[in-house]
Structure formats: structure tokens, C-alpha cells
Amino acid sequence: MSYTNITRFPKCDILLHKNDVDWYGFDKTYTEGQMIDLAIKHQCPIIIKNGINGKWYLKGKGNTIESLKRKIHEKVGLSRNGVFCLLLE
């Protein structure tokens, strides 16, 4: 699977407690680029950064992009500052 577009949604977290790769998340020291590489490797179209000092999470494996977009649009703007969602399409 290849992705050609990455969209950032501020103050957004979806699929709570449904981490696809590491249940406890990835350390905050990972870079955004490293997380994108891991997301591509594991075919997870959603990356969540859980705050400025928060962990990273990979989600959305097996979901359609359309259903993920619906979930994002329901939740965008509802999380605290520093939390964001990346959608890989």
C-alpha cells in the first residue's frame, strides 16, 4: 500500500484504545517522519500524537479511508491542544 497524501487534523484523536501496532504507543522521542515510515510499514493510515509530550499511536488498519474521514470529522477540534491526527491516503 502506498500513500500519496498526508493531512493533519488538530485537536483530534479517533479510535480510542484501538492501537494497531503497539498497545502502549511509541515514545515521544520518535519523529513525525519515523512514525510515517512505521505507519506505511504496518499499513496504518492513522497516526495520533497524544499531546506535545505525548506518545504516538498507529491506528486504522483495515478501515476504509471514507470511514476514517467520517470519524475524524466527528472528533476534530474536540481534543486538547497539542493532540493531532495524521491521515495517510
How many DSSP H helices and E strands does the chain contain? Answer: 2, 4
Percent with pLDDT over 70 in the chain: 98
What pLDDT is stored for residue 1 in this prediction? 58
**Vertex 47, ends 10 and 29: CA angle to 5°?**
95
Of 28, 36, 40, the C-alpha closest to 8 is: 36
CA 72 – CA 21 distance, rounded (Å): 20
> Considering the domain boundaries, does residue 82 fall inside one?
yes
Range of the domain at 60: 6-88
The tens digit of pLDDT for each residue in 52-81 reads 999 999 999 999 999 999 999 999 999 999
What pLDDT is stored for residue 3 in this prediction? 78
> Considering the domain boundaries, does residue 70 fall inside one?
yes
Residue type, 56: W
The whole-chain average pLDDT of the chain stands at 95
> Considering the domain boundaries, does residue 74 fall inside one?
yes
pTM: 0.93
The domain tally of the chain equals 1
CA 89 from centre of chain: 12
17: confidence class by pLDDT, cuts 50, 70, 90: confident
> Considering the domain boundaries, does residue 1 fall inside one?
no
